């Protein structure tokens, strides 16, 4: 029975999609719910799975093609099984078995004359090579060139030392200086457009500060095992402290939690924090909802779940829309300091960085402390410098004295 494979129903904000990857080809057997094709939109990658056991009979939209909502992209034949791969496997196995099943006299004769079993036609039972086959080939050789993995090694052994020293590395020639042109994916193009738009439209400014991570690191070390045991394997990381500190600071400085809509300033009475996640397809920012009401365990679990969905391409549009503030952590890649770009229409973004031991002055003494640089980029059209600096100082103070997060002071 033939079944039409259609593109998913796109949300209203998505006009069309692009066929990213066909994971199954016509004639290739697949089972029900096997992934058939990825369709990339401006925001997410949607997956289409097999409706039943069978195989694709034909593909109507090739990779790179544009598809509309519910457009037919392929036809599927239920119950069809591909046999091409099996036939190819039998052919390859036959060629290998010719040499493996030959007697020692045949293998010796092949080796002495630098021959490969595939060069000689076997006349024995099941295509097996006989000694007479090799001798006949030597008398009347067939001009067939076969290169085996062992051939270059054998040639190198037989080559005089002078010739070996004059060999040129294959990668040193100009013929290997190649370039490859690849079109941008929809997601990458959308990211590029949004970043350029944010820089061109916003009056973006960045303020910096540093935070001593000793208190949080000590707290994490002391309660890490108990926390994981009490919360069903959820690990206590640094991100939950930063999210909670940011949520508390956002309550005190509402302008940092606002967004611009034309000439209107929209102040949000809730804190939905977008967390930047790097994937193979590009940077995405799924949203943690109502973080002011979440516990540290809820935040850690939510971040892990969203990150796993992002890396597997299973995020939905709803999970990526509506954030009021963004946190990005370049420190996991070793970044010491950076200037994060606004995630429009939000008006601020907090950048975390690498924790590094540095000498600091305390009570007239030089001591070594684990220090992290913090960066807050903000839209100066909406946020004054005073508010931005005070917001970042508040985040710093809450992180250096974690008890204040619980006490909300």
Q: Which region, left, alpha or beta, applies to residue 207 given φ > 0 means left and ψ of -120 to 50 means alpha?
A: beta
d(CA 14, CA 316): 12
Give buried/exposed letters for 175-199 (b at 16+ CB in 10 A, else e): eeeeeeeeeebbbeebbeeeeeebe
CA diameter of the chain: 96
Give yes or no for a contact between 74 and 54, defined as CB atoms under 8 angstroms apart.
no
Pairing of strands 287-288, 17-22: unpaired
Give yes or no for a contact between 317 and 14, defined as CB atoms under 8 angstroms apart.
yes
Sheet holding 17-22, edge to edge: 45-49, 35-40, 17-22, 66-67
User: Is 100 labeled as catalytic in the residue annotation?
Assistant: no
Helix/strand/coil percent split, the chain, to 5: 40, 25, 35
β-bridge mates for residue 78, sequence order? 54
β-bridge mates for residue 328, sequence order? 351
User: Is 97 labeled as catalytic in the residue annotation?
Assistant: no
β-bridge mates for residue 44, sequence order? none
Give the residue from 76, 55, 62, 61 showing the smallest Cα distance to 2: 76
- Among residues 33, 290, 305, 384, the one annotated as catalytic is 384
Give yes or no for a contact between 135 and 115, defined as CB atoms under 8 angstroms apart.
no
d(CA 101, CA 95): 10
d(CA 65, CA 81): 27
CA dist 282 to 62, 181, 277, Å?
Answer: 23, 18, 9
349: enclosing H helix or E strand: strand 348-352
- Among residues 33, 100, 380, 401, the one annotated as catalytic is 380
Three-state DSSP at 369 gives strand
Q: Which residues are catalytic?
A: 380, 384
């Amino acid at each position: 029975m033939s079944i039409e494979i259609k593109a998913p129903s796109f949300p209203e904000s998505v006009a069309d999609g692009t066929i990213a990857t066909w994971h199954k080809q016509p004639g290739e057997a697949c089972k029900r719910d096997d992934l058939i094709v990825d369709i990339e939109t401006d925001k997410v990658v949607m997956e289409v799975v097999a409706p039943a056991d069978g195989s694709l009979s034909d593909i109507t939209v090739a990779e790179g093609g544009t598809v509309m909502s519910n457009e037919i992209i392929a036809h599927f034949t239920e119950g069809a099984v591909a046999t091409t791969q099996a036939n190819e496997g039998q052919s390859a196995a036959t060629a290998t078995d010719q040499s493996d099943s030959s007697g020692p006299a045949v293998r010796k004769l092949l080796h002495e004359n630098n021959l490969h079993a595939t060069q000689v036609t076997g006349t024995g039972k099941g295509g097996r090579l006989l000694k007479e086959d090799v001798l006949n080939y030597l008398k009347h050789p067939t001009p067939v060139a076969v290169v085996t993995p062992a051939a270059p090694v054998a040639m190198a052994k037989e080559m005089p030392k002078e010739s070996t020293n004059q060999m040129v590395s294959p990668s040193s020639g100009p013929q290997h200086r190649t370039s490859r042109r690849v079109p941008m994916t929809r997601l990458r193009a959308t990211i590029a457009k949004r970043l350029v738009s944010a820089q061109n439209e916003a009056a973006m400014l960045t303020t910096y500060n540093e935070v001593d991570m000793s208190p949080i690191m000590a707290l994490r070390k002391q309660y890490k095992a108990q926390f994981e045991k009490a919360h069903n394997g959820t690990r206590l990381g640094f991100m939950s402290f930063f999210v909670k500190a940011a949520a508390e600071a956002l309550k005190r400085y509402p302008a940092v939690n606002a967004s611009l809509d034309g000439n209107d300033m929209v102040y949000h009475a809730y804190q939905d924090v977008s967390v930047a996640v790097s994937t193979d397809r590009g940077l995405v920012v799924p949203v943690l909802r109502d973080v002011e009401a979440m516990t540290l365990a809820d935040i850690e679990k939510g971040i892990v779940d969203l990150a796993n969905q992002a890396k597997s391409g299973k995020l939905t549009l709803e999970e990526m829309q509506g954030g009021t503030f963004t946190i990005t952590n370049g420190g996991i890649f070793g970044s010491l300091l950076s200037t994060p770009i606004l995630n429009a229409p939000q008006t601020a973004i907090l950048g975390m960085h690498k924790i590094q031991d540095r000498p600091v002055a305390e009570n007239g003494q030089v001591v070594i402390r684990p220090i992290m640089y913090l960066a807050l980029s903000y839209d100066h059209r909406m946020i004054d410098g005073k508010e931005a600096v005070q917001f970042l100082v508040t985040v710093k103070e809450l992180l250096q004295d974690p008890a204040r997060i619980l006490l909300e002071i």
